Amino acid sequence: MQILNDSDREFVRNRFENELVNEVNLILFTQSDLGGLVVPGRECETCAPTEQLLKDAEEAARCGISRIPSFLVSREDETNIRYLGIPAGTEFPVLMEALVNVSSGEPKLAEETKAFLQTLTDEVLIKTFVTPN
């Protein structure tokens, strides 16, 4: 299923070609394929899915993810830019902006904002609740 129409795809391609600087990761947390190999005589149908579930849960906890679908935007192993749900409609440009900001490493912020952010000593959690339209 194609989510973006042709003109949107062209717009996105052009923007990313011009503005993405470094590699940026999109790490998606979703449901895993829990199918497993069953060896005749040594059936353990739940071993593989159990192992996968534990691995997924461990990684999700490290990244502060408690819901699916969710994803992280990062350059290396940062976990502080998260999106819970599908970034559809008016939220899609927000995702594009996040990708550009992370990729460049130089988000477009005023000097006053940067100066204030540099004074932060404790973590600040900003949750923004949105709808797709």
Which residues 6+ apart lie within 8 Å of 110 measured at CB?
none
Other beta carbons within 10 angstroms of residue 30's beta carbon come to: 9
Coil/strand/helix, residue 100: helix
User: CA–CA separation, 65 vs 36, rounded Å?
Assistant: 25
**Is residue 108 part of the contact set for another protein (CB under 8 A)?**
yes
**Is residue 63 part of the contact set for another protein (CB under 8 A)?**
no
Segment lying near another protein (by CB under 8 A), choices 34-42, 44-52, 54-62, 74-82: 74-82
Q: Which of 47, 50, 78, 93 binds another protein (CB under 8 A)?
A: 78
**Is residue 93 part of the contact set for another protein (CB under 8 A)?**
no
Segment lying near another protein (by CB under 8 A), choices 12-20, 27-35, 54-62, 64-72: 64-72
